[in-house]
Structure 1
Amino acid sequence: MPLAVLLAGLTGSGKTTVAQALAAHGFTRLSVDEEVHRLHGRYGVDYPEHTYFERERPVVETIRQRFIKELQAGHDIVLDHGLWRRAERDAWQQAAREGGGHPVVVYLPADREELLRRLAGRNQREDANALTVTPEALDDFFARFDIPAEDEEVIVHTGSVDGLLAKLARERQS
């Protein structure tokens, strides 16, 4: 049964870094942000920030369809998308099951100071995974993020990719 790794974390928590590392180990990486960037350009530069969610919505549906098809084909997937709300995590887990996959939520916790440090450098870039995040916006992100609850089965990732790969190998066997 293919794995469907669902990354949950705030902007700057390391989702893309982890997703790229898993892709280097054979996972198919699906990125909502990169697809929005490919279609619409840079957030807040090529289109107004307040229109992001209307641009993102059809991309998420397209990614969801590909996600299911990749799982049905037997491919391990890593979804590079924030999954801030529990309802989103639940819906993607259900999509993974529909595709015949084994969903695994990987939570990447990071405190405000660490995120601000990471975002300071990232805010200077212009690629698909860079968007300017102010401290005020980050506070808003924290307010809208549902930290995984005790009854959610998640892997909390704070270490090495090798450690995560070992945990994923155990998930595959369960």
Structure 2
Amino acid sequence: MCGVAGSGKTTFALKLEHEGFARLSIDEEIWSTHGRFGVDYPEADYESFKEQAEVKLRGELVRLIQVGRHVVVDFSFWQRQRREEYKQLIGQYGGEWALIHLKVQPDELRQRLLLRSVRMDANAAFPITGEILTRFLNGFETPDGEGEWVIEADMT
């Protein structure tokens, strides 16, 4: 999965999970291990918790590939370099990757994130302010020529 916060990665990944895929989510790993951002742990701890969660989930990804499971990796993958690293990792262990880019216009993202901000779950645990969303949008390296499948949000 690849997309900015609010693009629908988790919603799509949950559908795949219901079809039998194993789903790996950094947000849910942090939530289950450490709780809610800014409530159960200080903001300063988030980056190290995120790194720990990713190390654990990379190991789980390899294990699942080795036993022949289909896996959906519910991360943002906003950097091309990170996407390439995971493609190589998956290939190294005999898996086949598919890069699904969920593309949503900024105004729609803002609406979705407003709705998400009132929920109390793992995917709303890290609040995305307007300022953070702008940074995410400016820093997101849109896949182009990476073998991606693009799914655009229907704005109707």
TM-score band (shorter)?
over 0.9
- Among 133, 138, 141, the alignment partner of 1:143 is 138
Q: What is the rounded CA distance, in whole Å, between the counterparts of 2:108 and 2:80 in structure 1?
A: 23
Deviation string for 1:67-87 (max 9, x for gaps)?
Answer: 011011010100011111001
Do structure 1's residue 65 and structure 2's residue 23 form an aligned pair? no
Q: How does 1:48-59 map to 2 (within 5 A)?
A: 48-59=42-53
- The amino acid of 1:115's aligned partner reads L
Query: Residue 50 of structure 1: CA displacement?
Result: 3.7
Residue 2 of structure 2: aligned partner: 8
> TM-score under structure 1 normalisation?
0.84
Q: 1:159 to 1:25 in 2, by over 3 A?
A: farther
Q: Once the 2 structures are TM-superposed, how far is the Cα of residue 25 of structure 1 from its aligned partner?
A: 0.8
- Residue aligning to 1:100: 94
The equivalent residue for 2:114 is 120
After superposition, the CA RMSD in angstroms is 1.4
User: TM-score if structure 2 supplies the norm length?
Assistant: 0.93
Deviations along 1:17-36, one digit per CA (max 9) or x if unpaired, are: 00000011111111111001
Judge conservation of contact 1:69–1:99 (CA < 8 Å) in 2: no
Bigger drift between 135-144 and 14-23 goes to: 135-144
Counterpart CA distance in 2 for 1:144 and 1:98 is 28
Runs of 4+ in 1 over 4 A off after TM superposition: none
**Which one of the candidate residues 38, 42, 48 is aligned to 1:44?**
38
Segments of 5+ residues of structure 1 without an aligned counterpart are 1-6, 161-174
Long gaps (5+) in structure 2: none
**SS at 2:99's partner residue?**
strand
- After TM superposition, give the deviation of residue 93 of structure 1 in Å: 0.7
Percent identical among aligned pairs is 37
Residue 54 of structure 1: how far off its partner (Å): 1.1
Q: How many aligned residue pairs are there?
A: 153
Distance 1:115 1:28 in 2: 26
Q: CA deviation at 1:159?
A: 6.5
Report the equivalent of 1:111.
105
**Is residue 24 from structure 1 mapped to residue 18 from structure 2 by the alignment?**
yes
Contact 2:17 2:23 in 1 (8 A): yes
Provide Cα deviations, 1:29-78, integer angstroms capped at 9, x if missing partner: 11111001111111222223343111110110110011011011010100
Output the CA distance in 1 between the equivalents of 2:36 and 2:17.
Answer: 24
